[in-house]
C-alpha cells in the first residue's frame, strides 16, 4: 500500500513523477504559496509532507494525525518547530550539499557587487549621469587579496572560501561552532573567535543556520567591531541580523556596504529602510535559485520523503531529530 503524501508547493515534473511512482500524491495546484488554512484542511490523510518555508508547528501537527515525515526543499529548516516534531516522533529532512556551489556563486556576486558598486553604477550609466572626467566618484573597494571572514563554515561557507582563496587570492578567516581541521589545511583557513573575525575581516559573510542561538547574532555591538571599510554579506536568514542595527551601521558610515539575499520578513516591504541605501545590494532570496539546482533539491527532498515513509533511513534527517 502506497503512503499518502501532500505536496504543498510547485515541484518540477521529474520529482512529481518520482513521487507518484511511490506514493498517493495530493498536491496544491493553486498559484503562489498555499494559504495556511487551505494547507491545514488538506493534511487529514497525509503521512508525508513535502514543502519549503511552511511553519511545521504544533498547530499544523494537530491537523495531521497520520503525519510521519516532513521533507523541506531547502537546506535551512528554521521553519521546523523541532520540539513539537520530536514530541510527535516526526522525521524532518532537508537538502544540504546539493546547493552549496550555487549559493557560493551568488555570494561572490554580492561581494563583487557591493565592493565595486555594480548595481549602483549600472543605474548611473543607464540614467545618463556618466560624464567625461568622472573618476573618484566611481571608486569602489578591491576584493582580491583581501580578508574573507566566514561566519558559519558549513558546505556553503567552504565553497565561498574556495572561491575567495583560489579565485581571488583572498585569505580566509572563519568562525564556526567547531573547528574544521580539513578546511584549515586545504584553504589555509584561520579559525578566530567571532569578535576577532569581525575586527579583522574585509568581508564578513554570514552563513550560520538560524537557530535560537544565532537569532540576532549580528547586532550593534558586532557592527561596532567591524572595519569602516568592511562589507557585510548575509545569505543565511534575515533574523540572524538586527536589521535596525545594520541600517544604522550603514547610514552612519560605520561600515562600507552590505549585500543581502535575505530579510527578516520576506518578501521585504518596499519601504524597508535598508532598500533606500545606495550602499546596500538586495536580492529576493535567490541563493539556490537556478533551474538545475532547484530541480536537484526537489529530487533530493522527494527521495528523502519516500525513504522515510518506507521505514528506511534517508541521508538528510536533520540532526536535532535523529
Ligand atoms: C535554503 O535552501 O535554505 C536557502 O536559503 C536557499 O537559498
Q: State the CATH number of the domain containing residue 193.
A: 3.40.50.720
Under 8 Å between Cβ of 22 and 306? yes
Across all residues in the chain, what is the average pLDDT?
98
**Separation of alpha carbons 243 and 232, rounded Å:** 12
Provide φ and ψ at 207, rounded to 5°.
-135, 20
Is the same domain home to 69 and 143? Answer: no
Question: To the nearest whole percent, how much of the chain has pLDDT over 90?
Answer: 99
Provide φ and ψ at 194, rounded to 5°.
-60, -50
The answer on pLDDT for 310 being more than 90 is yes
**Separation of alpha carbons 172 and 158, rounded Å:** 10
Is the same domain home to 133 and 256? Answer: yes
161 HSE (CA, 13 A, CB side): 29
Q: Which residues contact 174 (CB under 8 A, 6 or more apart)?
A: 149, 150, 151, 153, 157, 161, 180, 183, 189, 190, 191, 192, 197
Q: What would the mean pLDDT of 49-67 be, rounded to a whole number?
A: 97
Is the same domain home to 185 and 72? Answer: no
The answer on pLDDT for 18 being more than 90 is yes
Is the same domain home to 207 and 300? Answer: no
Per-residue 3-state assignment (H helix, E strand, C coil) for the chain = CCCEEEECCCCCHHHHHHHHHHCEEEECCCCCCCCHHHHHHCCCCCCEEEECCCCECHHHHHCCCCCCEEEECCCCCCCECHHHHHHHCCEEECCCCCCHHHHHHHHHHHHHHHHCCHHHHHHHHHCCCCCCCCCHHHCCCCCCCCEEEEECCCHHHHHHHHHHHHHHCCEEEEECCCCCHHHHHHHCCEECCHHHHHHHCCEEEECCCCCCCCCCCECHHHHHHCCCCCEEEECCCHHHECHHHHHHHHHCCCCCEEEECCCCCCCCCCCCHHHHCCCEEECCCCCCCCHHHHHHHHHHHHHHHHHHHCCCCCCCECHHHC
The answer on pLDDT for 254 being more than 90 is yes
CA of 76 to the centre of ligand 1 (A): 6
Is the same domain home to 33 and 20? Answer: yes
Our count of domains for the chain comes to: 2
Active site residues: 237, 266, 285
The answer on pLDDT for 31 being more than 90 is no
pLDDT given at position 152: 98
Q: Output the CA torsion 51→31→14→156 (10° steps).
A: -50
Q: What would the mean pLDDT of 278-305 be, rounded to a whole number?
A: 98
Q: What would the mean pLDDT of 29-47 be, rounded to a whole number?
A: 96
**Separation of alpha carbons 269 and 284, rounded Å:** 11
Q: Which atom of ligand 1 is nearest to the CA of 99?
A: 2
- Is residue 292 reached through a cis peptide bond, with omega within 30 degrees of 0 on the bond before it? no
Question: To the nearest whole percent, how much of the chain has pLDDT over 70?
Answer: 100
Q: How confident is the model at residue 245 (pLDDT cuts 50, 70, 90)?
A: very high
Is the same domain home to 189 and 130? Answer: yes
The domain in which residue 11 lies consists of 4-98+291-321
CA of 157 to the centre of ligand 1 (A): 13
Q: How confident is the model at residue 291 (pLDDT cuts 50, 70, 90)?
A: very high
Is the same domain home to 80 and 107? Answer: no
Is the same domain home to 87 and 158? Answer: no
pLDDT, tens only, 77-134: 999 999 999 999 999 999 999 999 999 999 999 999 999 999 999 999 999 999 999 9
Does any ligand 1 atom lie closer than 6 A to the CB of residue 76? Answer: yes
Is the same domain home to 88 and 140? Answer: no
Is the same domain home to 87 and 144? Answer: no
Does any ligand 1 atom lie closer than 6 A to the CB of residue 238? Answer: no
Mutational pocket test of ligand 1: of 53, 71, 76, 211, the residue with most ligand atoms within 8 Å of the beta carbon = 76
**Separation of alpha carbons 277 and 292, rounded Å:** 33
pLDDT, tens only, 227-244: 999 999 999 999 999 999
Does any ligand 1 atom lie closer than 6 A to the CB of residue 74? Answer: yes
**Separation of alpha carbons 257 and 277, rounded Å:** 9
CA of 301 to the centre of ligand 1 (A): 13
CA of 151 to the centre of ligand 1 (A): 16
Does any ligand 1 atom lie closer than 6 A to the CB of residue 39? Answer: no
Does any ligand 1 atom lie closer than 6 A to the CB of residue 287? Answer: yes
Q: Which atom of ligand 1 is nearest to the CA of 235?
A: 5
Is the same domain home to 191 and 215? Answer: yes
Does any ligand 1 atom lie closer than 6 A to the CB of residue 96? Answer: no
The answer on pLDDT for 58 being more than 90 is yes
Does any ligand 1 atom lie closer than 6 A to the CB of residue 75? Answer: yes
Q: Which atom of ligand 1 is nearest to the CA of 95?
A: 2
Q: Whose CA is nearest to atom 7 of ligand 1?
A: 287
Does any ligand 1 atom lie closer than 6 A to the CB of residue 288? Answer: yes
Is the same domain home to 271 and 300? Answer: no
pLDDT, tens only, 156-181: 999 999 999 999 999 999 999 999 99
pLDDT given at position 41: 97
pLDDT, tens only, 256-288: 999 999 999 999 999 999 999 999 999 999 999
Give the residue from 299, 293, 298, 254 showing the smallest Cα distance to 277: 254
Amino acid at each position: 500500500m502506497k503512503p499518502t503524501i501532500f505536496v504543498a508547493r510547485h515541484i518540477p515534473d521529474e520529482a512529481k513523477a518520482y513521487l507518484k511512482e511511490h506514493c498517493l500524491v495530493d498536491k496544491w495546484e493553486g498559484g503562489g504559496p498555499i494559504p495556511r488554512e487551505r494547507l491545514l484542511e488538506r493534511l487529514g490523510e497525509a503521512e508525508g509532507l513535502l514543502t519549503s518555508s511552511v511553519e511545521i508547528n504544533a498547530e499544523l501537527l494537530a491537523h495531521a494525525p497520520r503525519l510521519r515525515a516532513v521533507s523541506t526543499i531547502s537546506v535551512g529548516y528554521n521553519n521546523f518547530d523541532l520540539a513539537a516534531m520530536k514530541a510527535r516522533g516526526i522525521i524532518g529532512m532537508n537538502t544540504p550539499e546539493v546547493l552549496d556551489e550555487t549559493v557560493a556563486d551568488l555570494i561572490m556576486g554580492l561581494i563583487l557587487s557591493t565592493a565595486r558598486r555594480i548595481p549602483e553604477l549600472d543605474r548611473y550609466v543607464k540614467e545618463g549621469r556618466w560624464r567625461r572626467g568622472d573618476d573618484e566618484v566611481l571608486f569602489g573597494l578591491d576584493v582580491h587579496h583581501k580578508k574573507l571572514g566566514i561566519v558559519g563554515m558549513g558546505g556553503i561557507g567552504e565553497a565561498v572560501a574556495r572561491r575567495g582563496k583560489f579565485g581571488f587570492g583572498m585569505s580566509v578567516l572563519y568562525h564556526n561552532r567547531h573547528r574544521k581541521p580539513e578546511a584549515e589545511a586545504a584553504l589555509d583557513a584561520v579559525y578566530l573567535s567571532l569578535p576577532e573575525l569581525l575586527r579583522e575581516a574585509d568581508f564578513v559573510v554570514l552563513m550560520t543556520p538560524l537557530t535560537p542561538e544565532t537569532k540576532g547574532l549580528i547586532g550593534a555591538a558586532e557592527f561596532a567591531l567591524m572595519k569602516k571599510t568592511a562589507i557585510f554579506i548575509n545569505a543565511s536568514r534575515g533574523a540572524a541580523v538586527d536589521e535596525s542595527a545594520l541600517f544604522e551601521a550603514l547610514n552612519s558610515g560605520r561600515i562600507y556596504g552590505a549585500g543581502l539575499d535575505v530579510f527578516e520578513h520576506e518578501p521585504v516591504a518596499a519601504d524597508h529602510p535598508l532598500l533606500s541605501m545606495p550602499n546596500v545590494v538586495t536580492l529576493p532570496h535567490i541563493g539556490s535559485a537556478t533551474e538545475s539546482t532547484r530541480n536537484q533539491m526537489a529530487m533530493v527532498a522527494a527521495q528523502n520523503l519516500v525513504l522515510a515513509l518506507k521505514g528506511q533511513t534517508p541521508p538528510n534527517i536533520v540532526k536535532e531529530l535523529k
